[in-house]
Structure 1
Amino acid sequence: MYKSIKTMLIKMRDELIEEIARNRKMETDELRNEIGDLYDSADNERDRQLSHILNDRDRGKLIEIDEALERIDDGTYGICEECGKRIDSNRLKIMPFARLCVPCKSDIEKQLGQFRKIEEEAPYRELSNIDLEEFEE
């Protein structure tokens, strides 16, 4: 039923594996050739950190692709993990490794946004309880 999507996911996975391998080889080559002043060293470190971030993101995407392939094999592909309803085919075309339907994804993002807002405001809320008169002379 999802043969074309499975083929696309396999192709995406293979391309990601090649990309990760290329990046790893470039990093290794750069480490061998690293000679220069302090500014070059700082630039190289920043580039290396960016490369690690991108590689981590690629590895995460690789895991999502592998899990989508498993869902195709076990017959659960295209079913929202949150509500159990079918994920819209247009969403699956755009993001073939999607686990959630659009409404559930939106709800979760809203909840995460509210949680982050609460987390960010917490230190300031504690500051508002401080009696400023204690600090006045």
Structure 2
Amino acid sequence: MPEHIKKLLLKMKQDLLKDLNKDLKSERNDFDTDIGDFYDNADVERGRQLFHLLSGREREKLMLIDDALARIEDGTYGICEDCGKKINRERLKIMPFAKLCVACQSEVEKQSAKMKEIQEEEFTYKDISIGETEDIDDNL
């Protein structure tokens, strides 16, 4: 199974990078030739452009793909990073770069939702406090 998944991940990465290169070529055509030559001659600049073209989601997906490929190489692919149990094959077919089993992922999502709720409550409390303070100052 890891070999099949590896091919799938490499294809996903290739497709993502191909789309990015298309975007980069399109962006280059918007500049005059002097600037285009600068991009052609500077590998560092090309890397920077690719980085900026990546949306946050694409960047994260590329990192997840690279991480999954590394886990295949070191023999830890398909093992949950939290509990150490095997990740269900069906989950890996749907999400080949999954790092957590369903139970651990569910727990992470619950904790994340709780933190978001707490942050929203704190933000609301701060808004009320600021408003009340201004009212008190007006009455003095």
Superposition pairs for residues 1-137 of structure 1, below 5 Å? Answer: 1-30=1-30, 55-129=55-129, 130=132, 135-136=138-139
Q: Could you tell me which residue of structure 1 aligns to residue 38 of structure 2?
A: none
Q: Which amino acid aligns with 2:100?
A: L
Deviations, residues 21-53 of structure 1 (Å, cap 9, x unaligned): 112222333466xxxxxxxxxxxxxxxxxxx68
- Native 8 Å contact 2:24 2:53 kept in 1: no
After the TM superposition, list the runs of 4 or more consecutive aligned residues in structure 1 that deviate by more than 4 angstroms: 131-137
Aligned CA-pair RMSD: 2.2
Distance 2:136 2:59 in 1: 53
- The separation in 1 between residues aligned to 2:53 and 2:121, in whole angstroms, is 27
Rounded Cα–Cα distance in structure 2 between residues aligned with 1:53 and 1:111: 32
CA contact (8 A) 2:20 2:54 kept: no
CA distance in 2 between counterparts of 1:75 and 1:8 reads 17
The one-letter amino acid of 1:7's match is K
Unmatched runs of 5 consecutive residues or more in structure 1: 33-51
Determine the C-alpha separation between the residues in 2 that align with 1:7 and 1:136.
70
TM norm structure 2: 0.72
Distance 1:111 1:30 in 2: 45
CA distance in 2, matches of 1:68, 1:21: 23
- Give the secondary structure class of the aligned counterpart of 1:107: helix
Distance across 2 between alignment mates of 1:10 and 1:3: 10
Percent identity over paired residues: 44
What TM-score, normalized to structure 1? Answer: 0.73
